[in-house]
Amino acid sequence: MADRVLLVTADDLLVRIADALAAGGVDLAHERDGGVGVESAEHMRPDVVVWDGELGTGTESTMARLRATGAAVVVVAGVAAVPAGVRALRDGADQLVLRPVDADYLWAAVARAAETGRWRRAAQRLPPGGTTGDGYRARTLADVERDQIERALRHHAGNRTRAARELGISRATLINKIKSYALDL
């Protein structure tokens, strides 16, 4: 896991725990001030921002600015800062981790958030339905649904009743979807 993580905290214990992440291959940067942390996130464009809830979340624009970088935001909060953490979730943070937190739990939260950050950044780079230079094209829900219908119909040799049962929809719904996707099977 070679993710870029920005830790924004003044808590030395959280910094020591985050240092364990750096030992595990995470590219870790650290800021002690919230305002500087937001500016660093805009410059660094990390996969994950681990935000100390004790710093407060500032305004709604703080989370919006962090999310605009494409980063996933993990807020670490103690019991006294839970209301601020909940506000951060409402304003766009991805996860709320409560103190006391150990290195393994923080590692797992960062790993989940890093995956979210990578997907979000990939989506920001692509125009809707567009492709990257390497041929990757963002798939829509309709693309996935069409592929699943085709797969089920092929698996059941065109038998619509069995395909509909496998897909968990009625036969009539399947027929309507076949027509809407102009499938020729």
Look up the CATH number of the domain holding residue 71. Answer: 3.40.50.2300
What is the percent of the chain with per-residue pLDDT over 70, rounded to a whole number?
83
pTM, entire model: 0.62
Sheet of strand 48-52, all strands in order from the earlier edge strand to the far edge: 27-31, 4-8, 48-52, 72-77, 95-98
Q: How many residues does the chain have?
A: 185
Q: Are residues 41 and 108 in the same domain?
A: yes
Count of domains in the chain? 2
Residue 123 and residue 73: Cα distance in Å, rounded? 17
pLDDT of residue 89: 83
Contact 171, 149 (CB under 8 A): no
CA angle in degrees (0–180, nearest 5) for 155-156-162: 130
pLDDT of residue 1: 43
Instruction: Flag whether 74 is in a domain.
Output: yes
pLDDT, the chain, mean: 81
Q: Are residues 68 and 117 in the same domain?
A: yes
Q: Are residues 104 and 153 in the same domain?
A: no
The tens digit of pLDDT for each residue in 116-164 reads 777 766 666 655 555 555 555 667 788 888 889 998 898 899 999 999 9
Q: Which residue is listed with tokens 């970088």?
A: 69
CA torsion angle 129 93 50 132 (round to 10): 0
Q: Are residues 49 and 116 in the same domain?
A: yes
What domain range is 55 assigned to?
Answer: 4-125
pLDDT of residue 35: 85
- Which range, 71-85, 141-155, 163-177, is most confident? 163-177
Q: Are residues 109 and 22 in the same domain?
A: yes
Q: Are residues 118 and 33 in the same domain?
A: yes
Rounded to whole angstroms, what are the CA distances from 155 to 89, 109, 166, 179? 43, 39, 10, 19
